[in-house]
Amino acid sequence: MCRLDMPTVHSYYVGMSPAEPKRQYTLRGVPADVDCALRRQAQAEGRSLNEVALEALRRGAGVAEPAAQDDLDALIGSWREDAAVEQAVARQDEVDPELLL
């Protein structure tokens, strides 16, 4: 048995990320079908039950999850001609004579 020499209020948060304060919930009476669906989804996606449950709570509460931008689609069609850039790119095509065999 491990004894913590601090008040219970503080020991409850030991090991939790201090970077972003979060609220702790205890849910009771979770219906079996909801439990089964959440666990099945967590297993299928290789995620924790906590992550899947929080995502479901966000959707149910109408709070949108911030979209992770993992591509450059937003930049498509945004190119502007720039002479300085064109010169810099052209210089990259030049071969240093000292490196030639």
Q: What is the CA radius of gyration of the chain?
A: 27
pLDDT at 11 over 60: no
Note the pLDDT tens digit of each residue in 39-96. Answer: 999 999 999 999 999 999 999 998 877 677 677 877 888 888 999 999 999 999 988 8
Collapsing DSSP to helix, strand or coil, 87 comes out as: helix
**pLDDT score of 10:** 52
Q: Please give the structure tokens belonging to residue 92.
A: 């990259």
Collapsing DSSP to helix, strand or coil, 31 comes out as: coil
Which of the four pLDDT bands, split at 50, 70 and 90, describes residue 4? very low
Q: Any idea where the domains of the chain sit in the sequence?
A: 23-63
